[in-house]
Amino acid sequence: MGRQYFGTDGIRGKTNAGVMTAAIAMKVGQAAGTRFLRGSHRHRVVIGKDTRLSGYMLENALVAGFTSVGMDVVLTGPLPTPAIAMLTRELRADVGVMISASHNPFEDNGIKLFGPDGFKLSDEDEIAIEAMLDQDMPLADSASIGRARRIDDARGRYIHAVKSALPDDVRLDGLKIVVDCANGAAYQVAPSAMWELGAEVIAIGVSPNGININHRCGSTHLDLIKETVVASGANIGIALDGDADRLIVVDEKGVTVDGDQIMALIGSQLAARGELRGGGVVATVMSNLGLERFLAGLRLELIRTKVGDRHVLEGMKAGGYNVGGEQSGHMILLDHGTTGDGTVAALQVLAALVKSGKRASELLHLFDPVPQLLKNVRFAGGKPLDDARVKAVIADAEARLAGKGRLVIRPSGTEPVIRVMAEGDDAGEVEQVVDTICDAVKEAAA
């Protein structure tokens, strides 16, 4: 069946419009609560959020929904998405909820759901919950309505878990680190964790006011952290997104280190210690061919999935891998958590920096990315990729790049857009290939 509410990462949209209203949030609470009322124990849900103004509204609506069907609620306040996944398991909760639209602007918000194992819900559970949203839920009787309470030590629990991802003998003394928390969910916990490990921390993006999340800061807006790293003489910069499941690094020269380079570092270091499971790393079709070649040089595989950290996680679980991620900065380290965690990944990078004694610019640029170009073509309707002329142009492009590059063409899952990506050793050829395909799609869609 088609999805009306759930997308690739929960439910997301502009607040007070479409699928992201208080009324729908309450229905999500009722439906998810009903779905996970299993067994005779007292049922519990953990609800966290980022720093968006609309988080208060959606939090209250979800509380009303869950308690109305008889589920107790534990509220954490602003915490990263991976912290909610962790607390769902630790508190033996039946379901976890994160209220966040990740790297989107403050006008948007979203609802991410976790099962009792701390992993994002399966397609089966999401489809079942979606089907319930247009139905009347059976409400609890008066004596069985749930209760809600806030816990005061949620931040401390998460900081402890993050630090536990490193060996006890690893300290960050001597490192000057700029941490950009995007005025988001990690604005307290990420700087605290690094400071407790001995680093000198310069924290930016740590003054949330409800509407400045991801605004000219964080992992999708790097100008501020680059300027701060260079001006302060810091060893490295750590940039997180609004819910802190994404990491981009900036070296001491102010140069961006994306998710592909981070996966190369973490994967190769674990392999050298005999701790990399599965014999490779899981990434998406968007990861650079340079990463694939680097890993092949170490006799490691790059396993590619569809775009989205959810697909990466599915690939990791299916093949027994413990390192995966996306070029955009989602890092999933299954030895330390059940979902992407920018802070945990950052600490792995910082530990490697300490142990190597190298500068970040020496340690974090392990391969030269091949030229890569992505363009989007918007179309009014129909299926331009089914056009015979488009198919012929694509086949010709694949033949041109055979053995020296890659071509990835995919329709957007959320808007009428065809994404055309090519990469190869010859930048000029890559640009020609992409432009030719884009022109063909435009003609077919005209």
Would you kindly state where each structural domain of the chain is located, as residue ranges?
6-153, 176-363, 372-445
Residues sharing a CB contact under 8 Å with residue 340, sequence separation 6 or more, in sequence order: 81, 82, 245, 246, 309, 325, 330, 331, 332
Amino acid 414: pLDDT: 65
Q: For residue 148, what are the CA distances in angstroms to 21, 45, 85, 115, 158?
A: 21, 9, 19, 19, 21
What is residue 35's DSSP assignment?
H
Pairing of strands 247-251, 256-257: antiparallel
Instruction: Give me the catalytic one of 54, 68, 100, 102.
Output: 102
d(CA 197, CA 69): 43
Domains 176-363 and 372-445 share a fold: no
Q: Work out the number of other CB atoms within 10 angstroms of the CB of residue 4.
A: 11
Helices (H), 233-308: 259-272, 289-297
Query: Given this model, what pLDDT does residue 1 score?
Result: 43
The C-alpha atoms of residue 157 and residue 154 are separated, in whole angstroms, by 5
The one-letter code for the residue type at 256 is T
The token pair at 424 is: 């190869």
Distances (CA, A) of 314 to 84, 338, 413: 19, 11, 18
181 contacts 206 by C-beta, under 8 angstroms: yes
pLDDT of residue 2: 56
Cα separation, 331 vs 336, whole angstroms: 11
Cα 349 from Cα 65, distance rounded (Å): 41
Output the six-digit token pair for 249.
């690094």
Q: Could you tell me where the beta strands, DSSP code E, fall in 80-210?
A: 95-99, 108-114, 148-150, 176-180, 200-204
Crossing angle for the helix pair 189-196 and 342-356, nearest 10 degrees? Answer: 30
Residue ranges for the chain with pLDDT beneath 50:
1
pLDDT computed for residue 239 by the predictor: 98
**CB-based burial, 316-350: b 16+ in 10 Å, e otherwise:** beeeebbbbbbbbbbbbbbebbbbbbbbbbbbbbb
- pTM, entire model: 0.93
Please say if 40 is a catalytic residue. Answer: no
What pLDDT score was predicted for residue 221? Answer: 97
| CATH number for the domain whose boundaries are 6-153 | 3.40.120.10
CB count within 10 Å of CB 33 equals: 27
Spatial separation of the C-alpha atoms in residues 100 and 12, rounded to whole Å: 8
CATH second-level architecture of 176-363? 3-Layer(aba) Sandwich (3.40)
Where does 372-445 sit in CATH, by number?
3.30.310.50
Closest CA to 175 of 333, 331, 358: 358
What letter would DSSP give residue 211?
A: S
Q: Which two tokens stand for residue 232?
A: 């302060």
pLDDT tens track for 43-78: 999 999 999 999 999 999 999 999 999 999 999 999
Residue 403: what pLDDT? 87
Interatomic CA distance for residues 424 and 431, integer angstroms: 10
